[in-house]
Amino acid sequence: MPATVDRPPRRPFAEDPQCRAHESASLDVVDFVARWGRSSVSPFHCEPGRTMVDLGDHGVAGYAPIRRWAVLPTDVVSPPENECGALDALIGHLRAARRRPVFTAVTSPDAYRRLGNYAVRVADDPGVDLPAFSLEGPRMASLRHSISSARRSGLRIVPWSNALDPEITRVSEDWLLTKRGGEMGFTLGRFDLVDPESVDCRVAIDRHGNVVGFTTWRSYQNGHGRVLDMMRRSLGAPNPTMDLLICESLLEFAAAGVRHASLGPVPLSHGPLGERVYPTVSLRRYKEKFAPTWRPLWLVAPSRLLLPAALRAVAHAFCPDGILNAVRRNA
């Protein structure tokens, strides 16, 4: 990775010899993604297990190698003026490596369709305009009531600390006991792979000082954006625990000058079988409480003919143990 992300391109990217792959993300790459990632899914380029493609001055991308596929979480990360060149370079690199790219959740399909790819809408991203966010108005009445109830019950939000690690781990284990389909990954954080010091972790504590829930948030858009990743609570946590965690986080981000927050993309529902693996209907209903603006996300495959194989590769990236195993756990 270049020593700085600010210097101008040296020459047209097609001639750039620095397009190369690495088995993990360096700190320089992580910083580059945090600065130039414009999608709320961008932080997941740098997850453990990714093969990182360094595109020189123009951008970076991380993919999960699934058979002959390169499964990418979202758009290539690059400065806006280099976006087209970075995409061309990535596709060229993957072609040379004999891998087909599938982009799981891109913000706009236009650039990909111009290259002959096939795009299909797969999810919606619930975004919150933080400078305008408040609990006022009739649409927020239910959330106001929930927050008041949480505070009356003695719940309070504190930042993560090493002393809370054992209890946070216990909460995650409690949550996993009820998780349908087991713990997923790829564009969702896995508790055993996330370093709390690398994310913004907020912790809910009850009136007795016990940890009852937590959320993690990741940064994008050069610090102007936050995306909600993990949200977990213990089995006996008060009902408004998660409402308080999310609401106080949004208000604190707004006070700190953060402009945008994503509550985390929600896949489109794929019927009863899909709901058994990942309950999108109830998740969408819950996030709607925060009055977000929903924006579509698109899956991009090389062609419509290859879409089924691309979807199987994406499913494997999210469920390394296999979709059938996830369904059996919920039978």
Burial class (CB in 10 A: 0-12, 13-18, 19+), 108: middle
Where in the chain do CATH 3.40.630.30 domains reside?
13-125+296-329, 127-293
pTM: 0.85
Cβ contacts of 60 within 8 Å, gap of 6 or more: 1, 29, 32, 33, 45, 52, 53, 54, 76, 77, 78
Q: What is the pLDDT of residues 122-134, one digit of tens each?
A: 999 999 999 999 9
Q: 267-298 b/e with 16+ CB inside 10 Å = b?
A: beeeeeebbbbbbbeebbebbebbbbebebbb
Q: What is the pLDDT of residues 62-119, one digit of tens each?
A: 999 999 999 999 999 999 999 989 999 999 999 999 999 999 999 999 999 999 999 9
C-beta pairs of 283-287 under 8 Å, 24+ apart in sequence:
284/124, 287/126, 287/263
78 touches 86 (CB < 8 A): yes
Task: Give the C-alpha distances (Å, rounded to integers) separating 15 from 10, 59, 91, 92, 243.
Answer: 10, 15, 14, 11, 51
**What local confidence, expressed as pLDDT, does residue 7 receive?**
29
Q: At the top level of CATH, which class does the domain 127-293 belong to?
A: alpha beta
Quick one: tokens of 326? 């996830």
**What local confidence, expressed as pLDDT, does residue 324 receive?**
54
Mean pLDDT (the chain, rounded) = 85
- Which letter does DSSP use for residue 235 in this model? T
**What local confidence, expressed as pLDDT, does residue 226 receive?**
97
**What local confidence, expressed as pLDDT, does residue 159 receive?**
93
206 touches 155 (CB < 8 A): yes
Q: What is the pLDDT of residues 250-296, one digit of tens each?
A: 999 999 999 999 999 999 987 776 666 667 888 999 999 999 999 99
Find how far residue 137's CA is from the centre of its chain: 29
**What is the CATH T-level fold of the domain 13-125+296-329, as seen in this structure?**
Aminopeptidase (3.40.630)
61 SS3 class = strand
pLDDT band at residue 204, thresholds of 50, 70 and 90? very high
**What local confidence, expressed as pLDDT, does residue 277 receive?**
64
